[in-house]
Amino acid sequence: FGGLGAISGAAFCLFLPVFSLFQVSPEDTGAQFLIPAGSLGRNRAEASLERAQNLNPMVAVKADPENVESKPEEFFTHFDAVCLTCCSRDVMVRVDQICHKHGVKFFTGDVFGYHGYMFANLGEHEFVEEKTKVAKASPGVEDGPDTKKAKLDPSETTMVKKRVLFCPLKEALSGAGAALKRTAPDYFLLQVLLRFRAAEGRDPVPQRYAEDAERLLRHRGAVLEELGAGAEALPDTFVRDLMGGGIRGVGLGGNGPCVVRRMG
């Protein structure tokens, strides 16, 4: 429940319980606006509870310090939507599969310094889109510029019902069916960062640049090999771009500007 989690909680109208295993760090006070000063060492979710509740007094906001990994499948079926941040790949895939199975909308995302991503799985999602109405030409009217203009009159619109079937997170991360040569480097970078988190139990930080740069390159090699992509898919310069600056506030884990890529 970091900076992205705080923003997501506000946007979701706070109808979800807030989970976090992490303790408040000095960096959190600058990246997470729901955490008040003097909260160092407290559980992130519990420290954020009061300010989160104040954002919407009409709902009951709860903080749960338990590990989301220990929650049974039935637990997630009681919600309309689930949003995860700061979780491992295995946890995200498991929760997404549960939500997909039970028709619960699923969102996940993270921010790693200047890099960020989000994924949405809304299952079978129906929505209505407003489109410009195409008028039929009147009989006996000659074809010409005025006639074509009348056929696309922006003042007349119609509502078109559409249906989209979202893919599960596991499928999106597998690279199956993707045109890897046309895939943005951000996709491979995400895979490397999730692999780093799973293997090292943490995210890379500028303070350990030399050590983490070596590990990132090693994980990059394994990811590209698994996906069947060449080294050009994610050049060595990604380490410098990701860890550059070496300042916590604008490096990994900070609250500076970032580019967020959407998957799904």
CATH number at residue 199: 3.40.50.720
**How far is the CA of 119 from the CAs of 35, 76, 98, 106, 175, in angstroms?**
25, 18, 15, 8, 14
Q: Show which of 165, 181, 215 is a domain's final residue.
A: 165
Whether residue 49 lies inside any domain: the answer is no
User: Number of C-alpha atoms within 13 angstroms, CB side, residue 223?
Assistant: 29
Whether residue 45 lies inside any domain: the answer is no
The burial class, CB within 10 Å (0-12 / 13-18 / 19+), for 241 is middle
Rank 45-59, 82-96, 129-143, 176-190 by mean pLDDT and report only the highest. Answer: 82-96
Whether residue 183 lies inside any domain: the answer is yes
Q: Which domain holds residue 160?
A: 124-165
Whether residue 112 lies inside any domain: the answer is yes
Residues 128 and 251 in one domain: no
Nearest to 108 by CA among 119, 116, 100: 119
Looking at residue 260, its amino acid is: V
Residues 216 and 156 in one domain: no
Residues 159 and 81 in one domain: no
Is 253's pLDDT higher than 60?
A: no
Q: Show which of 139, 165, 191 is a domain's final residue.
A: 165
The tens digit of pLDDT for each residue in 172-199 reads 998 765 667 788 899 999 999 999 999 9
Stated pTM of the model: 0.71
Nearest to 113 by CA among 238, 262, 221: 238
Looking at residue 219, its amino acid is: H
Residues 109 and 235 in one domain: yes
Contact by Cβ (8 Å): 63, 49: yes
Whether residue 24 lies inside any domain: the answer is no
Residues 108 and 180 in one domain: yes
Whether residue 29 lies inside any domain: the answer is no
Which of the two residues, 43 and 213, has the higher pLDDT score? 213
User: What value does the mean pLDDT take over residues 238-244?
Assistant: 84
Per the structure, the count of domains in the chain is 2
Range from 84-93, 108-117, 128-137 carrying the lowest mean pLDDT: 128-137
Please give the pLDDT value at position 146: 54
Residues 155 and 247 in one domain: no
Please give the pLDDT value at position 207: 85
Residues 196 and 93 in one domain: yes
**How far is the CA of 141 from the CAs of 132, 135, 150, 156, in angstroms?**
22, 13, 11, 20
Residues 129 and 196 in one domain: no
Percent of the chain with pLDDT over 70: 69
Range from 55-59, 89-93, 117-121, 133-137 carrying the lowest mean pLDDT: 133-137
Please give the pLDDT value at position 45: 74
Q: Show which of 134, 165, 196 is a domain's final residue.
A: 165
- Reading the block at residue 80, the tokens are 């309309």
- Reading the block at residue 181, the tokens are 């040569």
Residues 95 and 172 in one domain: yes
Residues 176 and 156 in one domain: no
Please give the pLDDT value at position 183: 87
Contact by Cβ (8 Å): 30, 110: no
Residues 142 and 256 in one domain: no
Is 249's pLDDT higher than 80?
A: no
Q: How far is 184 from 87, CA to CA, in rounded Å?
A: 23
Please give the pLDDT value at position 141: 54
| Average confidence score pLDDT of the chain | 77
Please give the pLDDT value at position 56: 75
The tens digit of pLDDT for each residue in 30-66 reads 666 677 777 776 767 777 777 777 777 777 777 777 7
Strands 157-165, 105-112: pairing kind: unpaired
Which of the two residues, 44 and 227, has the higher pLDDT score? 227
Is 77's pLDDT higher than 80?
A: yes
Whether residue 34 lies inside any domain: the answer is no
- Count Cβ atoms below 10 Å from residue 132 Cβ, excluding itself: 13
Whether residue 131 lies inside any domain: the answer is yes
Phi, psi of 63 (to 5 degrees): -110, 130
- Count Cβ atoms below 10 Å from residue 19 Cβ, excluding itself: 22
Residues 219 and 233 in one domain: yes
